[in-house]
Amino acid sequence: VAGRARARRTRTYAQSGVDRGAVGTALRALLANVHPLVPPEHGVPVDLPGHYAGLVRIGRETIAITTDTVGTKVQLAERLGRWEEVGEDMVAVNVNDLAAVGARPAGFVDTIVCARPDAARFRAIGRGLHAGLTKAACALLGGETAVQGELIHGIDLGGTAIGFFPNGRAPVTGARIRPGDRLIGIPSSGPHANGYTLLRRVVDEANVDLRRPRPGGSVPVGRELLAPTRIYSEWADDLASDAGVHGYAHLSGGGLRNLVRLHPAVRFTVDRWPTVPALFDWIAATGGIAEAEMFQTFNMGVGFVIVADAARAGTILRRLASIGAKDAVEIGRIDAGRGVVVPDRGLRYSGYA
């Protein structure tokens, strides 16, 4: 349990841009003494180190659980006075992690910590929650709103999602990934909810007016940056019982490095990355950020990756098109080796953290 929890936490820090050393030290301290003895009749955790969700066998079902917050993207919402997008993100960041283990979403609880309850803001957040829950086909089972006026200025948005594996289908873990497999990418809708600490620094240092379009853009750049996280759970669920699906990756904090979480002993060769959306090029140019940093901080246009048996990749792409993900494309393959490489950009990542 300690290993799994530590691995999952690291992602959060990559995402928030804080000192990974200090955070790693604190998390090791947190987990050093957490090793409760739990009798099997209370459920049996399924060991899946470093993966996107925790799994526990409960009676005749295996339940997946994941908890995450929208993070510092909320501060962009605050600046723009727009809350619907981050309301949707509360659901998206969690159900996409369920999707990455092939779990079908079944329930969500939201967590709001705020200085004071504001009806207009809550109404907009609710509209976003509804949009996210509808796309994920996930029920709202409860929630917690903590008013902590002395602790917080503004608002923190997060939640927890649970999912399951219908009809006894197996979790999608990446264990069956092997050289020759193909990588299929499904595009993102923007930076999703990752990289916003860096983004804000870029925007502030360049005195960007968030209410005007960037060069070449047609809507205010603040709106572009705030776009809600695309939700992949429907497609991941649909394909999870296909034996040709060997692994799923949600490209959240850590960008391309997320691929390494699926298998430690193969190489993810990303040689057919689609054209990077202009928004990310603008971020890189405005902030003077190197490509290697961009690809390990942002999703760069692809939010979810399916590792598929080569013989099934075409069928899977056609299936994706028929169920609504027409823009899914092949982006690379699995080779012998380790880590992630992007040959035509000269990028190489050896690990996740």
Within residues 150-179, the interface with its own copies by CB under 8 A covers 150-156, 158-160, 162, 164, 166-167
Contact between 286 and its own copies per CB under 8 A:
no
Smallest gap from residue 203 Cβ to its own copies (A)? 14
3-state secondary structure of 117: coil
Of 68 and 181, CB closest to its own copies: 68
Question: Candidates 141-149, 207-215, 268-276, 299-307 — which segment interacts with its own copies by CB under 8 A?
Answer: 141-149
Under a CB-based contact definition with an 8 Å cutoff, are residues 230 and 324 in contact?
no
Say if residues 253 and 15 touch (Cβ distance below 8 Å): yes
User: What DSSP assignment string belongs to 168-187?
Assistant: GPPP--STT--TT-EEEEEE
Which residue type does 190 have? G
Gap between the Cα atoms of 353 and 289, Å rounded: 19
Closest approach of its own copies to the CB of residue 194, in Å = 13
- Residues 36 to 75 in contact with its own copies, rule: CB under 8 A: 36-39, 41-43, 45, 53-56, 58-61, 63, 65-69, 71-72, 74-75
Site for its own copies in 189-208 (CB under 8 A): none
CB of 336 to its own copies, least distance (A): 32
Told to check if 253 binds its own copies by CB under 8 A, we report no
Q: Determine which residue in the list 3, 47, 81, 139 makes contact with its own copies, applying CB under 8 A.
A: 139
Query: Is residue 353 part of the contact set for its own copies (CB under 8 A)?
Result: no
Measured from the CB atom, the residue of 237 and 242 that comes closer to its own copies is 237
Tell me how crowded residue 72 is: count the other CB atoms within 10 A of its CB: 19
Q: Does 119 bind its own copies (CB under 8 A)?
A: yes
Sign of CA dihedral 264, 269, 273, 278: positive
**Does 12 participate in binding its own copies (rule CB under 8 A)?**
yes
Nearest distance from C-beta of residue 234 to its own copies, angstroms: 10
Q: Which two tokens stand for residue 140?
A: 């709202």
Burial of 211 (0-12, 13-18, 19+ CB in 10 A): exposed
Sign of CA dihedral 324, 327, 332, 338: negative
* Binding region for its own copies (CB under 8 A) out of 13-21, 172-180, 211-219, 250-258: 13-21
Only segment of 111-119, 178-186, 327-335, 342-350 that touches its own copies (CB under 8 A): 111-119
Q: DSSP secondary-structure letter at 229?
A: P
In this structure, how many other beta carbons lie within 10 angstroms of the beta carbon of residue 167?
6
Contact call for residue 109 and its own copies (CB under 8 A): yes
Q: Residue 91 has which token pair?
A: 């659901």
- Which lies closer to its own copies via its Cβ, residue 116 or residue 211? 116
Per-residue mark of binding to its own copies, 68-107 (x: CB under 8 A): xx-xx-xx----------------------------xxxx
According to CB under 8 A, which residues from 18 to 37 bind its own copies?
18, 22-23, 25-37
Sign (positive/negative) of CA torsion 77, 18, 94, 244? positive
The answer to whether the beta carbons of residues 106 and 66 sit under 8 Å apart is no
In angstroms, the CA 44 to CA 161 distance is 19
Using the structure block, give the residue that is written with the tokens 């098109």: 321
CB of 1: closest distance to its own copies in angstroms?
A: 5
Nearer to its own copies, 7 or 184 (CB): 7
Query: How, if at all, do strands 329-335 and 155-164 pair?
Result: unpaired
